[in-house]
């Protein structure tokens, strides 16, 4: 219908090529433009400056007696700090690496000279639940570490996964000892 | 239809003249507004970082005794050219509230870059009590929040002159030629030589006021420089796209007989 | 009749979908080959521009809502958090803030186009009335959106505008309490304004859909105001008007960018950088510029109830405009008396806007009263009578043969502007 209007659609072919080229550049330009608009919107969903700058957390270890653990919050996540007994340290160190799902020596998971302190991100590597075991009344699983109630993963006293479905050991947060009884997480 | 044209002109022209005449008195009042040259007000202007840093020194040393800057964090100081180490050092010099301790009591400690600027008073009531009933406004957005912007704030800082003989002052207020009503609760904050600059810049009142207003302008609009830089690119791109689109439009329409 | 129709698209995926849900056929019909008068000038861009603008507002609004806190304690600071800490937050917010102003500029020009070329006349009355509904929804949305940053102007604007309803006898105060959800503008008010501000744009999308659907039934008006008679009068919408609208969109984006990047607070008010304080009213409280004419009408009437009625009436009168204008000629181009008078009316609206920005004292009161009277006079007296008295110029035979009537020299400045816009 409208095609039968006053328009002649048979322009010279050279003209058409020029028009096509222009349209190609235009389409490319529009695509660049849309991308340039999309990026700020998407990036606005990334962590904002205040979240990125979130300060580190100081933890006083003095009140934590042997065999006990505490939970602190860093970046919105639970951080497990446990004061291990000599027996727990020994069991963690004596495991044959071949028995582990993700082989890693205990010495690689604690700071040198502070064997009694294990500091972990308290999030199960399976699907993000918080494992039990940091309170004295909690079940600690067969290996005396942590037990995830969601799907039954078990961790040993070094936070290494010993029983699936979790595929990896509990992650270690960045931290440093400021003194023998004080750490800074972050 | 020249008749109609003149009729229309006859209506529009007087109306515009009347409207412009009416707006003249409004402009005359603003004569007192200083017209300083600000690096950041030019179309592509940026902040004079050295001035902003000197301004921060004045804010810290003088203004911050009464005025908060609640929307700023020490980390933001990278915007006026401070290095991360300098920011850490600056922040550590301030004691700020740090939530509660393990016993649930309020805790204080040295600020970190992530901390908000230290406020001089715990709350507005405390601020009023300490300031003869007047509330020193937060300065985070002061440059945007006043008609006249940077010039107005500069005008206040340099506007302390002796009250005219006939002017009746209330107790506890100070005469300021810039301030609406001329009676301001803030005693003159800056004088010649109030601070000592480490970079050897002179410390006349004008210089000090200029520096601190530069700092406050940055504090109110820290995105200014990035905004203008992106803006130039965006507008150039759009101008290019307009030309291109118009060319394609001409091509597409070339076979239409009007 | 239900059932599958054979689709003619070559691409098998599109064909498969289109056979089952003929959206591609519909798009092709309504935006591809849709027969559109061939003589549009650039005034006909503004509908598409308004649509683009709405999309910009909705998209930026959604991302702002991800970081905004509709709580009196947090709202102001959360906006500043967006401005300072969220990645590109300042950009998104400034686009939203200035996009609102652009939306009104574009829509007001779109409305002027309708007035000048008589687009509201039969058979497009319902199309026009839907447009007025869109304008009202836009105003409500903009008003509630302005409250959200919770600055001084937000707070006092909300207080003053909601108090308009207290003018109505008996139920007035009850309505106001209901709007507030309390005894002053406070947290419940802010919270519900946020909910409604988020909802309204989608209602707008719905009404705009009806607006466009109605447009595609009657077809577009055109600068000559005469009906399309033969296929020679039209062009397929694509590519002719898609590309022409694209030119307009580019220019529109340049203007928006100029505001956003180089004068983002030019149209704003310094008072809104001060957090809301229910105990202190700012010395000079004015609405955003796009409300100033209505505000001037409100203040020009000394009686509270009458003022409110006059203000709302100034919009309501647009609903009946198609029946107030008794002339059967659409385009002002062929109405030698209406043509200058519509500019006088525009002038009255602009003067009302200027009055609205000034304190209601002295000459401003008189001026706003004169303009208010003229505003109503134009619609209620001049238009009905003019249609009967005016002798229109001879109309051209058809769009493709616009010889008979000729264009005629347009009065300045509108004629010149219209000509300029036709040139390209």
Task: List the CATH number of the domain containing B53.
Answer: 1.10.760.10
Contact across the interface for C363 and B22, Cβ inside 8 Å: yes
Q: For residue C277, name the pLDDT band (cuts at 50, 70, 90).
A: very high
C-contacting chains (≥3 CB pairs under 8 Å) = A, B
In this prediction, residue A55 carries a pLDDT of 65
User: Does pLDDT of C172 surpass 70?
Assistant: yes
Q: Give the rounded percent of residues in chain C with a pLDDT score beyond 90.
A: 87
Contact across the interface for C38 and B256, Cβ inside 8 Å: yes
Q: Is A8 an 8 Å CB contact of chain B?
A: yes
Average pLDDT, chain A: 84
Q: What is the pLDDT of residues C293-334, one digit of tens each?
A: 999 999 999 999 999 999 999 999 999 999 999 999 999 999
Nearest Cβ partner for A53 among B75, B251, B256: B75
- Cα separation, B40 vs A45, whole angstroms: 29
Active site residues of A: 151
Contact across the interface for C244 and B253, Cβ inside 8 Å: yes
User: Does pLDDT of B220 surpass 90?
Assistant: yes
Nearest Cβ partner for A43 among C33, C88, C232: C88
In this prediction, residue B90 carries a pLDDT of 93
- Which residue on chain A is closest to B238 by alpha carbon? A33
Residue C250: its chain B contacts at CB < 8 A?
238, 241-242, 245
Q: Is B254 an 8 Å CB contact of chain A?
A: yes
Question: For A136, how many CA atoms within 13 A lie in the half-sphere containing its CB?
Answer: 5
In this prediction, residue C412 carries a pLDDT of 40
- Which residue on chain B is closest to A61 by alpha carbon? B102
Name the one residue in this structure whose structure tokens are 């102003």. Answer: C101
- Which residue on chain A is closest to B75 by alpha carbon? A53
Residue C59: its chain A contacts at CB < 8 A?
41
Nearest C-alpha neighbor of B4 from the set C334, C113, C224, C223: C334
Which residue range is the domain that position B57 belongs to?
45-72+117-230
- Cα separation, C302 vs C123, whole angstroms: 39
- Tell me, what's the ipTM? 0.89
User: Does pLDDT of C157 surpass 60?
Assistant: yes
A17 to chain C nearest CA, in Å?
16
Mutate one of C45, C237, C273, C342 to test the B interface: name it (highest B CB count within 10 A): C273
- Cα separation, B90 vs B105, whole angstroms: 26
Q: Give the rounded percent of residues in chain A with a pLDDT score beyond 70.
A: 89
Q: Is residue B16 part of a domain?
A: no
Q: Which of A11-25, B244-258, C321-335, C374-388 has the lowest mean pLDDT?
A: A11-25
Q: Give the rounded percent of residues in chain B with a pLDDT score beyond 90.
A: 62
Q: Is residue B208 part of a domain?
A: yes
Contact across the interface for A7 and B244, Cβ inside 8 Å: no
In this prediction, residue C165 carries a pLDDT of 92
Q: What is the pLDDT of residues C32-53, one digit of tens each?
A: 999 999 999 999 999 999 999 9
Q: Is residue B32 part of a domain?
A: no
Nearest Cβ partner for C235 among A5, A41, A48: A5
Name the one residue in this structure whose structure tokens are 């004008």. Answer: B206
Q: Is residue B106 part of a domain?
A: no
Contact across the interface for B11 and C343, Cβ inside 8 Å: yes
Question: Between B71 and A157, whose confidence is greater?
Answer: B71
Nearest Cβ partner for A46 among C35, C59, C87: C87
B8 to chain A nearest CA, in Å?
38
The structure tokens listed for C273 are: 């950088």
In Å, what is the CA distance from C350 to each residue of A89, B16, C294, C344, C368? Answer: 82, 10, 11, 10, 10
A7 to chain C nearest CA, in Å?
8
In this prediction, residue B12 carries a pLDDT of 55
- Which residue on chain B is closest to C271 by alpha carbon? B145
- Which residues are within 8 A (CB) of A45 and not within 5 positions of it... i.e. 6 or more apart? C63, C66
Residue C83: its chain B contacts at CB < 8 A?
223
Contact across the interface for C270 and B146, Cβ inside 8 Å: yes
In this prediction, residue B258 carries a pLDDT of 62
Q: For residue A6, name the pLDDT band (cuts at 50, 70, 90).
A: very low
Question: Between C155 and A50, whose confidence is greater?
Answer: C155
Q: What is the pLDDT of residues C386-402, one digit of tens each?
A: 999 999 999 998 998 76
Q: What is the pLDDT of residues A73-120, one digit of tens each?
A: 888 889 999 999 888 888 888 888 888 888 888 888 988 888 889 999
The total number of structural domains in chain B stands at: 1
Q: For residue A57, name the pLDDT band (cuts at 50, 70, 90).
A: confident
Q: For residue C101, name the pLDDT band (cuts at 50, 70, 90).
A: very high
Q: Give the rounded percent of residues in chain A with a pLDDT score beyond 90.
A: 30
The interaxial angle of helices C304-319 and C125-147, nearest 10 deg, is: 140
Contact across the interface for B4 and C336, Cβ inside 8 Å: yes
In this prediction, residue A69 carries a pLDDT of 87
Report, as an integer, the average pLDDT of C7-30. 90
Q: Is B245 an 8 Å CB contact of chain A?
A: yes
In this prediction, residue B218 carries a pLDDT of 97
In this prediction, residue C258 carries a pLDDT of 96
Given CA atoms C258, C262, C266, C269 in this order, what sign does their dihedral have?
positive
Q: For residue C357, name the pLDDT band (cuts at 50, 70, 90).
A: very high
- Cα separation, B47 vs B40, whole angstroms: 5
Q: Is A18 an 8 Å CB contact of chain B?
A: yes
Mutate one of A10, A14, A18, A25 to test the B interface: name it (highest B CB count within 10 A): A25
* Catalytic position from the list C18, C269, C288, C390: C288
Phi, psi of B70 (to 5 degrees): -60, -30
B134 to chain C nearest CA, in Å?
14
B219 to chain A nearest CA, in Å?
16
Question: For A123, how many CA atoms within 13 A lie in the half-sphere containing its CB?
Answer: 14
User: Does pLDDT of B2 surpass 70?
Assistant: no
In this prediction, residue A19 carries a pLDDT of 65
Q: For residue B7, name the pLDDT band (cuts at 50, 70, 90).
A: very low
Residue A32: its chain B contacts at CB < 8 A?
237
Mutate one of A6, A8, A11 to test the C interface: name it (highest C CB count within 10 A): A6
CATH code for the domain defined by A51-185? 2.102.10.10
In this prediction, residue C203 carries a pLDDT of 97
Query: Are the CB atoms for C382 and C318 separated by under 8 Å?
Result: no
Query: Are the CB atoms for A107 and A88 separated by under 8 Å?
Result: no
Q: Is C230 an 8 Å CB contact of chain B?
A: no
Q: What is the pLDDT of residues B43-84, one digit of tens each?
A: 888 999 999 999 999 999 999 999 999 999 999 999 999 999
Residue C270: its chain B contacts at CB < 8 A?
144-147, 149
Burial of A43 (0-12, 13-18, 19+ CB in 10 A): middle
- Cα separation, B213 vs B56, whole angstroms: 10
Contact across the interface for B245 and C283, Cβ inside 8 Å: no
Residue B75: its chain A contacts at CB < 8 A?
49, 53
Q: Is residue B64 part of a domain?
A: yes
Q: Is C41 an 8 Å CB contact of chain B?
A: no
Q: Is B251 an 8 Å CB contact of chain A?
A: yes
In this prediction, residue B256 carries a pLDDT of 86
Name the one residue in this structure whose structure tokens are 């000048």. Answer: C116
B-contacting chains (≥3 CB pairs under 8 Å) = A, C
User: Catalytic annotation on C244?
Assistant: yes
Mutate one of A7, A9, A54 to test the B interface: name it (highest B CB count within 10 A): A7
User: Does pLDDT of B19 surpass 70?
Assistant: no
Contact across the interface for B227 and C250, Cβ inside 8 Å: no
Question: Between C324 and C3, whose confidence is greater?
Answer: C324
In this prediction, residue C416 carries a pLDDT of 47
Question: For A173, how many CA atoms within 13 A lie in the half-sphere containing its CB?
Answer: 26
User: Does pLDDT of A7 surpass 60?
Assistant: no
In this prediction, residue C311 carries a pLDDT of 95
Q: Is B64 an 8 Å CB contact of chain A?
A: no
Query: Are the CB atoms for A182 and A61 separated by under 8 Å?
Result: yes
Contact across the interface for A43 and C87, Cβ inside 8 Å: yes
- The DSSP bridge pattern shows strands A182-185 and A175-179 to be antiparallel
Spell out the domain ranges in chain A.
Answer: 16-46, 51-185
Nearest Cβ partner for C231 among A1, A40, A43: A1
In this prediction, residue A181 carries a pLDDT of 85
């Amino acid at each position: 219908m409208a095609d039968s209007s006053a328009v002649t659609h048979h322009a010279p072919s050279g003209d058409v090529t020029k028009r096509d080229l222009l349209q190609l550049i235009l389409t490319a330009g529009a695509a660049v433009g849309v991308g340039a608009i999309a990026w700020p919107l998407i990036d606005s969903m990334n962590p904002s400056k205040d979240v990125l700058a979130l300060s580190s957390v100081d933890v006083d270890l003095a009140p934590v007696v042997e065999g006990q653990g505490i939970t602190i919050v860093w970046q919105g996540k639970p951080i497990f700090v446990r004061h291990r007994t000599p027996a727990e340290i020994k069991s963690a160190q004596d495991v044959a690496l071949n028995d582990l799902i993700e082989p890693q020596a205990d010495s690689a998971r604690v700071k040198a000279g502070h064997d009694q302190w294990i500091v972990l991100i308290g999030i199960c590597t399976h699907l993000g639940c918080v494992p039990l075991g940091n309170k004295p009344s909690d079940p600690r699983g067969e290996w005396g570490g942590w037990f995830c109630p969601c799907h039954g993963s078990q961790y040993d006293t070094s936070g290494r996964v010993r029983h699936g479905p979790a595929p990896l050991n509990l992650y270690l947060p960045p931290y440093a000892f400021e003194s023998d009884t004080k750490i800074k997480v972050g | 239809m020249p008749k109609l044209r003149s009729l229309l002109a006859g209506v529009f022209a007087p109306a515009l003249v009347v409207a412009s005449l009416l707006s003249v008195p409004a402009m005359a009042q603003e004569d007192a507004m200083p017209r300083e040259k600000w690096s950041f007000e030019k179309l592509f202007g940026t902040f004079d970082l050295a001035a902003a840093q000197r301004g921060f020194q004045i804010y810290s040393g003088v203004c911050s005794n009464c005025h908060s800057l609640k929307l700023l964090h020490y980390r933001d100081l990278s915007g006026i050219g401070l290095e991360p180490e300098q920011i850490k050092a600056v922040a550590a010099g301030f004691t700020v509230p740090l939530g509660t301790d393990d016993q649930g009591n309020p805790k204080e400690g040295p600020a970190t870059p992530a901390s908000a600027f230290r406020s001089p008073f715990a709350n507005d009531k405390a601020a009023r009590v300490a300031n003869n009933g007047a509330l020193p406004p937060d300065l985070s957005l002061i440059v945007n929040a006043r008609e006249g912007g940077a010039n107005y704030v500069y005008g206040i800082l340099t506007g302390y002159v002796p009250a005219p003989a006939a002017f009746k002052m209330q107790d506890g207020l100070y005469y300021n030629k810039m301030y609406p009503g001329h009676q301001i609760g803030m005693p003159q904050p800056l004088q010649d030589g109030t601070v000592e600059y480490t970079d050897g810049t002179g410390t006349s009142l004008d210089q000090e006021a200029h520096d601190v207003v530069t700092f406050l302008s940055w504090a109110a609009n820290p995105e200014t420089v990035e905004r203008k830089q992106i803006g130039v690119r965006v507008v150039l791109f759009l101008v290019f796209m307009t030309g291109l689109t118009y060319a394609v439009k001409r091509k597409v329409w070339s076979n239409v007989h009007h | 009749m239900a059932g599958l129709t054979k689709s003619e698209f070559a691409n098998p995926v599109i064909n498969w979908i289109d056979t089952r849900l003929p959206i591609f056929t519909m798009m092709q019909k309504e935006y591809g080959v849709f027969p559109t008068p061939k003589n549009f000038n650039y005034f006909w861009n503004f509908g598409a521009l308004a649509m683009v603008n709405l999309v910009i507002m909705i998209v930026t609004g959604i991302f702002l809502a991800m970081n905004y806190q509709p709580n009196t304690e947090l709202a102001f600071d959360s906006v500043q958090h967006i401005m300072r800490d969220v990645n590109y937050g300042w950009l998104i917010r400034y686009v939203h803030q200035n996009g609102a102003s652009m939306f009104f500029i574009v829509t007001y020009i779109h409305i002027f186009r309708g007035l000048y070329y008589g687009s509201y006349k039969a058979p497009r009355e319902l199309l026009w009335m839907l447009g007025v509904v869109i304008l009202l929804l836009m105003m409500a949305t903009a008003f509630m959106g302005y409250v959200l940053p919770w600055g001084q102007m937000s707070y006092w604007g909300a207080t003053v505008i909601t108090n308009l309803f207290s003018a109505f006898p008996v139920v007035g105060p009850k309505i106001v309490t209901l709007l507030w959800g309390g005894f002053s503008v406070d947290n419940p008010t802010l919270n519900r304004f946020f909910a409604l501000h988020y909802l309204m744009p989608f209602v707008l999308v719905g009404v705009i859909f009806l607006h466009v659907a109605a447009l595609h039934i009657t077809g577009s008006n055109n600068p000559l105001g005469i009906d399309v008679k033969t296929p020679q009068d039209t062009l397929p919408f694509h590519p002719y008007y898609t590309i022409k609208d694209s030119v307009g969109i580019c220019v529109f984006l340049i203007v928006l960018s100029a505001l956003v990047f180089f004068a983002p607070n030019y149209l704003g008010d310094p008072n809104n950088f001060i957090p809301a304080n229910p105990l202190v009213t700012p010395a000079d409280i004015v609405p955003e510029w796009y409300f100033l004419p209505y505000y001037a009408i409100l203040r020009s009437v000394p009686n509270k109830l009458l003022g409110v009625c006059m203000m709302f009436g100034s919009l309501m009168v647009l609903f009946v405009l198609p029946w107030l204008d008794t002339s059967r000629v659409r385009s002002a181009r062929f109405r030698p008396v209406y043509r200058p008078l519509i500019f006088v009316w525009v002038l009255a609206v602009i003067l009302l806007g200027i009055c609205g920005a000034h304190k209601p004292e002295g000459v401003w009161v008189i001026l706003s009263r004169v303009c208010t009277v003229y505003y109503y006079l134009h619609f209620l007296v001049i238009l009905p009578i003019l249609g009967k008295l005016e002798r229109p110029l001879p109309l051209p035979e058809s769009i493709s043969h616009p010889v008979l009537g000729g264009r005629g020299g347009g009065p300045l400045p509108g004629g010149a502007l219209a000509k300029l816009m036709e040139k390209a």
